[in-house]
Amino acid sequence: MLLRWHSTFSKPTLECYAQFVTAKTSSEKKTAGKKSPVRAGSKDKGLLIGYARVSTQDQNLELQTEALQKIGCKKIFEDRASGSRAERVGLAQARENLRAGDTLVVWKLDRLGRSVKQLVDLVGELQKDGVQFRSLTDSIDTGTASGRFFFHVMASLAEMERELIVERTRAGLEVARQLGRTGGRTRLMTESKIKAAKKLLASGVPARDVARNLGVSIPTLYRWLPASTHS
């Protein structure tokens, strides 16, 4: 399902995901052929609202829209924009038309979001509004127990990955500090420049000329050498 995003996750994360897929497949095989009891009021299901997206104007939406129409989407909203963009007109319109009990349907998961975090956040927002989510190609439906469990696992994996990134960043910064490197921009006023500036100022060279010779601004010069130190 999400193996095409393998570069997003670390090895331990992918191993957890693989175990989930294996368990899910085993569970589906055991329940294959069993009829689910019909729930009271099942005839009053919400609408299927479709969402299709391509990244450029040159790409064709026909494959997606045909698949969405085939499974019974009453309305289909479209976008021709990158999935990484936070603002997508078609997606916004689709969400405005969704009501509690409805289902947002996409052809593939990456049509809704380009990252695991973005996808999990969007589906989480839909579920808060009582809206389900369905991906045709990936066979995911949050209206089922296995679909909901899938997104719970993905949310946990995304959170774990964020924590691992923070830990790796902190570890990298600590190693850099031990090696004498600090973060941020390179200092404009090195020790040699400070010494040179003190000598020039002490010899009567105007601060403007000293700053120009050292390649720094006058405020930077005064920040490192306050006027009181060379007056």
Q: Report the number of secondary-structure helices (H) and strands (E) in the chain.
A: 8, 5
Alpha carbon distance 59, 80 (integer Å): 8
β-strand pairing of 75-80 with 140-141? unpaired
Residues in the chain: 231
Alpha carbon distance 128, 184 (integer Å): 40
Do 225 and 194 touch, CB atoms closer than 8 A? yes
Residue 27 is among the residues annotated as catalytic for this protein: no
Q: Which one of the listed residues 7, 55, 139, 192 is annotated catalytic?
A: 55
Burial bucket for residue 33 (CB in 10 Å: 0-12, 13-18, 19+): exposed
Alpha carbon distance 52, 6 (integer Å): 24
Catalytic residues: 55
